[in-house]
Structure 1
Amino acid sequence: MSLLAPPAFNDVSGAVRQARAQVAGRVQRVGARLTDRYPAPVRALAEPPPGSGLRPVLGNFGPPGIGYTLSTLADPIPFARKRFERFGPVQWFGILGRKTVTIGSPAALEAVLLDRDKVFSAQRGWEFLIGPFFHGGLLLRDFDEHLFHRRIMQQAFTRPRLVGYLDLTTPRLSRGVAAWQPSRNFHAYSAIKQLLLEQATEVFAGARLGPEGARLARAFEDAVAGGKALVRMDIPGGVWARGLRGRRLLADYFRRELPAKRAGAGADLFSVLSRATTEDGQTFTDDEVVEHMIFVMMAAHDTSTIAASMLMYELGRHPEWQERLRAESLALGKDSLDYADLDRLPALDLAFRETLRLYAPVAQQARETIADTHVLDYYLPRGTLLMCGPYSMMHTDEYWPAAHLFDPERFAPDRREDKTHRFTWAPFGGGAHKCIGLYFGGMTVKAVLHQVLLRYRWTVPADYRVPLVAGTGPTPADGLPIRLERL
């Protein structure tokens, strides 16, 4: 059975998603302007224990109930900058009904993500945001349990496996990119999303494309959307309710196909996870395979789509970089990339890194304290929700000179602005939960861009700025229209 719908279904559902995103973006912007006018008093999150020498975390909640939720969604960079200037790198505000501490400096991010005292729970932090849809995924497990699952899952992301995935997916990427129709209004984000949904179907699930997959394609989209819902209640017809239904449909599919995957010899991720075994004979249970598959499908597809789309956007705005990357790909003399070629495209790597800085596909890392603790010298009581913001941090001039500019050369050997602190550049997180699929993601984005550079030239209007809405990371609300020309 397929996970993907026929083209007609995807075109219609894509247009609906785009319209919904644009409406949501307008609502968020209006709501944010109203929120910013609300007179919220500044208070300490909690008073530090006497004699501890710790400082209180200062901030304010915002309007009752909703807090600053709409501000963080509509205008995250200006909002974070104003808060940073007012309260410093560790502060709190209200979001989705909870007091939430935000972490906005490399040193504070390091303290949380390395978690040397094991007091910052990823499971509890993410459970609040996306738990109903992606519970049991690797990111939603803690400490020894997380390490155990990661050790098994790592077998699916070794170099030989990555080589196999690239070999498996290259024909699909080649056919998909070649089939793009040049236009003055080509929606790059929508096209890349469709392309990588097809890739995920083959590489992760080992499934064929076909019309019977429409129901499962919608289930996957609904589950992802559910985790971003503002109204977090199981109301019939609502985003949250559709997400829960989508999760159930995906679980039913993976559970039904699992026996055949365990018995077969497939090279797709689903098959690999089904058969993965540690040296002492430990394997994933059926439920664990299902949980990991639902999460990995979301994490890999969404993040790669954002990164590839936003790289195309910046290359459309900076034709000199587009031509530089095209010349590099042409000089390689190959229509498609082998795994060993990834290190032979240094300019593409610079542009990819800069895109991850500007548009971190995972905009936040969520944690919750399981004991009284501190970050730097700020006191955090048990039960504090933290949002660690690499997206906003990597837009801060204090850490990145002229942070708003697209400047891939900042990663060149003679500059290396990312080396001022080990967590200045942190699009993949860090510590025990550092993204296990970071090499897969880089491989996917570079394989797609290599194909596009060889086949097309594209531009965006000089005055166009892509409208971004909050997803797993900053997501184009308008499908990212570009002018695409075949070479």
Structure 2
Amino acid sequence: MKDLADTPFIPVRAELHREPLSILGTLRAARGNLLAIIPWNATRQPMVTGKTGLRWHMVMSPKALRRVLRDRVEDYPKSTVTHRILGPGIGESLFLAEGAHWRWQRRTAAPVFSHRNLADLAPVMQEAARASLARLERAAGPGGATADLYDEMVAVTFDIICNVTLAGGGQIDRAHVHDTINGYIRRVGRVSLLDIVGAPAWAPRPGALMGRRVVGSLHEVADRVVRERLAAPSDTPDLLGMLMDSADPDSGRRMNPQELRDNLLAFIVAGHETTALALAWALYLLGHDQAAQERARAEAMALEGDLPGPQDLDALPFTRAVVEETMRLYPPAAFLSRTARAEDRLCGRVITPGDTVMLPIYALHRHHMLWEEPDAFRPERFLGPRPERFSYLPFGDGPRICIGAGFAMMEAQIVLAALLRRFRFEADGPDPVPRLFITLRPEGGVKLRVRPI
């Protein structure tokens, strides 16, 4: 086995622009791949400022990010573009709500994601992993075959989130929901010229009307599920039931049907694709780095029992490091943005109300002042001391850190270890293209040779 510190694998990366972009150039870049609006020097400077109709700042300094995400979080709400894109789909759910409305929802939902409840949900993850193994065994046959692991990871994580959200998953048409989500992203999830020049959110954007029609059918499905559950509660614990039973510990307030609907959809949308992306990119990386794959496999093979479970997570340190390094190189939420509400100063520059403050997580995770060999795949960097806080933000940080981070990490480790116990993955086909709209997807899929062990 080669030393992982020697000649590390340099995986595919996005091309960042070196020359300033015009307004139209920014539009073309953003509509093709949002990563393309990140300048090359964003991986070498603490902050980059520019103007394309509206004034913007890209922030890569951990100290400044701490200020935005923790110290003055109320002064940096989710950007108007974020609300414009996601609001029609998930409303004022926990993901988008601000201020007091966000705080009471967070207090209400927090117990749902407690360590005890996560352990109770592990069997759902194991059963979905078992079904994924069976599908791959049929596809690979005894001699192995090429498969698109991105498609398979979307399938397994969608099974998990549907069964976790709605016990049994039978009350929801998964194919319809998944197709509707993708259709909405294609129509509404792209930046428009009006966004770039800072036009108000009420100004009509191309595709917005059609996008609302698409998401209307998704709302109908979720509304029906909530109505049926309110009329006939289930004895089987699931996320929707936990949200229905939970109340704000301070006020006693409970979520109304629309709030349940919006949060249900937010968890389904965010809870499957982000983990699917982390797993798909991890398999791409391991398919090109056989030494790392063998090291992770050795951990998985040493486990007892049929499938990995929550009791095994401490015995999978390298597997966890692979997942963390994957999310460093390909963070599912690779680009966040805020709209400044009050005057401030970041990295010595004045921030005025209305400025767009961008958090290019992709550039932060590949910053040459923060990471050694930032473009290299080196899982062992997560086996020692933790990275400087606010230099690694796959789940955000501060009070609005992703509420499902523990769930996602447990899910990713269980599924990845289960796959490595049964199959060997080898590079076979062109590299996927990292392309960002709302999430960082592998365009072209993750084509790997899958060989039974």
- The Cα shift of 1:367 comes to 1.0
Q: 2:46 aligns with which of 89, 96, 105?
A: 89
Spell out, residue by residue over 1:281-307, the C-alpha distance to the aligned partner (whole angstroms, 9 max, x if none): 321111111111111111111110110
Structure 1 counterpart of 2:253, one-letter code: Q
Shift of the 354–83 alpha-carbon distance from structure 1 to 2, 3 Å rule, reads: closer
Shift of the 157–123 alpha-carbon distance from structure 1 to 2, 3 Å rule, reads: farther
Partner Cα separation in structure 2 for residue 78 and residue 251 of structure 1 = 33
Matched, 1:466 2:432: yes
Equivalent in the alignment of 1:447: 414
> Would you say the 8 A contact 1:261–1:274 is kept in 2?
no
Equivalent in the alignment of 1:164: 120
> Would you say the 8 A contact 2:27–2:193 is kept in 1?
no
- The Cα shift of 1:319 comes to 0.6
Partner Cα separation in structure 1 for residue 100 and residue 184 of structure 2 = 28
Shift of the 129–90 alpha-carbon distance from structure 1 to 2, 3 Å rule, reads: farther
- SS of the residue 2:247 aligns to: coil
Structure 2 counterpart of 1:283, one-letter code: R
Q: 2:248 aligns with which of 278, 303, 326?
A: 278
- The Cα shift of 1:372 comes to 1.8
> Would you say the 8 A contact 1:113–1:431 is kept in 2?
yes
> Would you say the 8 A contact 2:158–2:273 is kept in 1?
no
Equivalent in the alignment of 1:244: 212
- SS of the residue 1:92 aligns to: strand
> Would you say the 8 A contact 2:317–2:383 is kept in 1?
no
Q: 1:67 aligns with which of 23, 26, 40?
A: 26
Matched, 1:355 2:326: yes
Equivalent in the alignment of 2:165: 204
| Greater RCO, 1 or 2 (C-alpha within 8 Å, sep 6+) | 2
Structure 2 counterpart of 1:467, one-letter code: V
Shift of the 94–250 alpha-carbon distance from structure 1 to 2, 3 Å rule, reads: farther
The sequence identity of aligned pairs, in percent, is: 21
- The Cα shift of 1:465 comes to 2.9
- The Cα shift of 1:140 comes to 1.0
User: Any residues of structure 2 matched to 1:319-338 within 5 Å, and which?
Assistant: 319-338=290-309
Partner Cα separation in structure 2 for residue 454 and residue 276 of structure 1 = 38
> Would you say the 8 A contact 2:38–2:360 is kept in 1?
no
Q: 1:476 aligns with which of 439, 442, 448?
A: 442
Q: 2:67 aligns with which of 111, 120, 123?
A: 111
> Would you say the 8 A contact 1:69–1:94 is kept in 2?
no
Aligned residues: 423
Gaps of 5+ in 1: 1-27, 41-61
> Would you say the 8 A contact 1:77–1:392 is kept in 2?
no
> Would you say the 8 A contact 1:71–1:79 is kept in 2?
no
Equivalent in the alignment of 2:392: 425
- SS of the residue 2:74 aligns to: coil
Equivalent in the alignment of 2:239: 269
- The Cα shift of 1:271 comes to 1.8
Partner Cα separation in structure 1 for residue 235 and residue 105 of structure 2 = 22
Shift of the 333–377 alpha-carbon distance from structure 1 to 2, 3 Å rule, reads: same
RMSD across aligned C-alpha pairs, in angstroms?
2.9
Spell out, residue by residue over 1:11-65, the C-alpha distance to the aligned partner (whole angstroms, 9 max, x if none): xxxxxxxxxxxxxxxxx99xx98xx77xx6xxxxxxxxxxxxxxxxxxxxx3235
- The Cα shift of 1:84 comes to 5.3
Partner Cα separation in structure 2 for residue 385 and residue 412 of structure 1 = 36
User: Any residues of structure 2 matched to 1:188-227 within 5 Å, and which?
Assistant: 188-206=149-167, 208=169, 214-227=175-188
Gaps of 5+ in 2: 1-13, 195-201
Structure 2 counterpart of 1:80, one-letter code: P
Q: 2:316 aligns with which of 339, 345, 361?
A: 345
After TM superposition, the score normalised by the length of structure 2 is 0.85
